[in-house]
Amino acid sequence: MPAEWEPHQAVWFSWPHPEGISFPRCYERVLPALGALVRAAAEFEPVRVNVRDAAEEVEARRWIGGGGSVEFFHHPTNEPWCRDHGPIFLLNDQTGEVVVADFAFNAWGGKYEGTALDQKIPALVAQALGLRCLAHPMVLEGGSIEVNGSGSLLTTRSCLLHPNRNPSMTQPQIEDVLRHWLGVRNILWLDQGIEGDDTDGHIDDLARFVGPSSIVTEVEENENDPNHAILQENLKALANFRDENGATLDICALPMPARRLEYEGDRLPASYANFLILNRGVLLPVFGDAKDDEAGALVESLFPGRKIVPVDCREIIIGLGSIHCLSQQQPAAPRS
């Protein structure tokens, strides 16, 4: 599984539907924000969007507008979280072949019903692209894993070891699948995710590889916030981790938003770590918050040569995810 900063052929999204569960009583509010997100991605590389049918394609085109290369695929979905229901693309280092890994998807531990269409997306994408599709019965969401492309993988115990995912599998068995299927040999475990995250602790809200031996991780300055202790424990764990070659990791602290975001009384998992790395660019979620500029400056320092584009995610985060959760990068095959 290549690192996200390696060259992409395209990036995938799945368009939401008014009857979906992701944006309760606010579907119309999120469409302008989602259109802006897709336009921003298309500035850097081709975008491919799963839509239900021709009518939904027309609707999506209306919100996305012109500019950039955007291609639509009539692949019906239940929800828009392409990182988790979409394909995990793998690259064969020897042959250059790109293949689709199709792991099981059970709606984040069976929390929601009606995911039959989402479960078909990896195979449909592989068929549309003429790629081999390799299926595995283990439940694995793309947002639960983070790789550096050279042998290390970062994840959380609260998600991958939760009994609502793979109750019959032990930690060594899960690690064995990750090693053999994703081409990693060094698996790093953090404990748990932030408050408001209904995924049981996806890593892409917590800590991200920004280089082969570099990680950016969220920290909460407010000691009275429930996330403070969680993220401090993660920070301590990261300080003791090593990369696949045994070298210590360079750890950079990324602030959490200063203001607690809520919707209808429930906390939302707003996190600057949910950025998306693209060819020549990085899309950064922002929340109209006092920490937006600080987070932007820090991310800019981590990606020299890439343009940092803030994307307002105050409406998108109502769905309990933001930019990285909605997207899935397709790596480019090496040139022969």
- The pLDDT tens digits of the residues spanning 2-36 come to 999 999 999 999 999 999 999 989 999 999 999 99
pLDDT, one tens digit per residue, over 254-273 is: 999 999 999 999 999 999 99
Mean pLDDT of 278-291: 98
CATH number belonging to domain 8-331? 3.75.10.10
User: Does residue 111 register a pLDDT over 60?
Assistant: yes
Q: How confident is the model at residue 336 (pLDDT cuts 50, 70, 90)?
A: low
Q: How confident is the model at residue 120 (pLDDT cuts 50, 70, 90)?
A: very high
Mean pLDDT of 127-132: 98
Q: How confident is the model at residue 222 (pLDDT cuts 50, 70, 90)?
A: very high
Alpha-carbon span 60 to 71, nearest angstrom: 11
Maximum CA extent, the chain: 55
**Domain limits, the chain:** 8-331
Residue-by-residue DSSP string for 258-270: SS--EETTEE---
- CA within 13 Å, CB half, 301: 12
User: Does residue 148 register a pLDDT over 60?
Assistant: yes
Which residue, among 123, 101, 205, 126, has the nearest Cα to 159 in the 3D structure? 205
Separation in Å, CA 97 to CA 76, 130, 160, 295: 27, 11, 28, 36
**Residue 323 φ/ψ, nearest 5 degrees:** -60, -50
Alpha-carbon span 322 to 289, nearest angstrom: 15
pLDDT, one tens digit per residue, over 69-78 is: 999 999 999 9
Which carries the bigger pLDDT value, residue 34 or residue 114?
Answer: 34
Residue 95, both tokens: 């042959």
* pLDDT the model gives residue 115: 92
* pLDDT the model gives residue 1: 98
Q: How confident is the model at residue 335 (pLDDT cuts 50, 70, 90)?
A: low
* pLDDT the model gives residue 68: 80
Mean pLDDT of 298-314: 98
Mean pLDDT of 83-90: 98
* pLDDT the model gives residue 24: 86
The Cβ of residue 232 has, within 10 Å, a number of other Cβ atoms equal to 13
Given a contact cutoff of 8 angstroms between Cβ atoms, the answer to whether 147 and 185 are in contact is no
Residue type, 59: E
Residues taking part in catalysis: 325
User: Does residue 114 register a pLDDT over 90?
Assistant: no
Mean pLDDT of 91-108: 96
Mean pLDDT of 290-307: 98
3-class secondary structure, 216: strand
Segment among 36-50, 56-70, 75-89 with least mean pLDDT:
56-70
pLDDT, one tens digit per residue, over 174-206 is: 999 999 999 999 999 999 999 999 999 999 999
Alpha-carbon span 308 to 297, nearest angstrom: 9
Q: Say whether pTM exceeds 0.85.
A: yes
* pLDDT the model gives residue 315: 97
Alpha-carbon span 113 to 158, nearest angstrom: 21
